[in-house]
Amino acid sequence: MKPRPLKPGDTIGLIAPSSPPNLNQLEKGIKLYEGYGLNVKVGRSIRLVNGYLAGSDMDRADDLMEMFQDPEIKGVFCAYGGYGSARMVEYIDFNVIKANPKVFWGYSDVTFLHQVIYQRTGLVTFHGPMMSSDLGGEVHPFTETYLKQLFTPTTITYDSTISDLTVLNSNEKKKVSGPIVGGNLSLLVSSLGTPYEVDTKGKLLFLEDVGEEPYRLDRMFNQLRLANKLQDAKGIIVGDFHECEPFKRKESQDVDEVVTHHLSMAGTPAIIGMQAGHCTPTLSFPLGVMATIDLTERRISIEPGVEGE
């Protein structure tokens, strides 16, 4: 289920489903979207502070639900990640979201909401930078290019002319295809064993993370592999693991060694090196749509995330 594209004059809703955003940076991000001709309605959770949370779990869930229920709101955007989106899923009415399909945009901690919304409603959502944490300063042209996929159906083609890409476990297959799911590795691992556990069967699994030491990434990849989530996927796309360097121990494997070890053990066809995640510049793309990894040409193709005019 794809949302309709945005158009100039539309109003989008801005929420903080996790931690409180930096309000000064947020204003700059809002101006960027206003420059596209959009109006921005700011939710109540934006200015609430409850320790590391933007208000109570109910506050944040109510904000999300109100934006999906409001017929004037054409898209729901997350201002910031941090921590907390998983705490509010029990207060979300997924039937309301399914009945009111709209653009839903964010990443990082928002990964938990992406996967749950897709699995409970079938709605295509968008993995992309947020107004406070990523768009509150100078925005790289590459990053901005992919923000504009919300205004017109856009097929994304990503190949080694953009960044170095490495293929593992091609197993004589030329291409693998499936709906693309995933996001932040630590959030996906946190879903295991819950009613909201990520489903990777027949999917292309995208993975990224930030600020995690290699041994912590090792633990998380190992848990995904032992839970058969890597093996169940038809293919794996590895994005950016930003600032994932060792600092507790001088003796350490690096990120590449950790990733290669677990993907090789899983045996699932994989492509490594997509510039997406907590990096700058970053690729935005829809989750839940069909995508293809061309293992021979080292190319990723992702179908449009919006539909109609």
Contact between residue 262 and residue 221 where contact means Cβ atoms under 8 Å apart: yes
CA–CA separation, 221 and 238 (whole Å): 12
Among the listed residues 85, 186, 278, 303, the single catalytic one is 278
- Cβ atoms < 10 Å from Cβ of 72: 10
| Residue 133 falls in the annotated catalytic set | no
Rg (CA), the chain: 18
Contact between residue 274 and residue 281 where contact means Cβ atoms under 8 Å apart: no
Among the listed residues 208, 262, 284, 303, the single catalytic one is 208
Contact between residue 214 and residue 183 where contact means Cβ atoms under 8 Å apart: no
In this structure, what DSSP letter does residue 20 have?
P
HEC string of 87-121 equals HHHHHCCHHHHHHCCCEEEECHHHHHHHHHHHHHH
What is the distance in angstroms between the CA of the first residue and the CA of the last residue of the chain? 15
| Residue 278 falls in the annotated catalytic set | yes
Q: Taking Cα atoms as reference points, which of 66, 22, 26 lies closest to residue 44?
A: 66
Distance of CA 47 to the CA centre of its chain: 23
| Residue 303 falls in the annotated catalytic set | no
Q: Taking Cα atoms as reference points, which of 92, 113, 80 lies closest to residue 287?
A: 113
Contact between residue 270 and residue 169 where contact means Cβ atoms under 8 Å apart: yes
Among the listed residues 108, 133, 190, 191, the single catalytic one is 108
* Helix/strand/coil for 232: helix
Contact between residue 130 and residue 29 where contact means Cβ atoms under 8 Å apart: yes
CA–CA separation, 308 and 296 (whole Å): 33
Q: Where is 218: in which H helix or E strand?
A: helix 214-226
Q: Which residues are catalytic?
A: 108, 208, 278
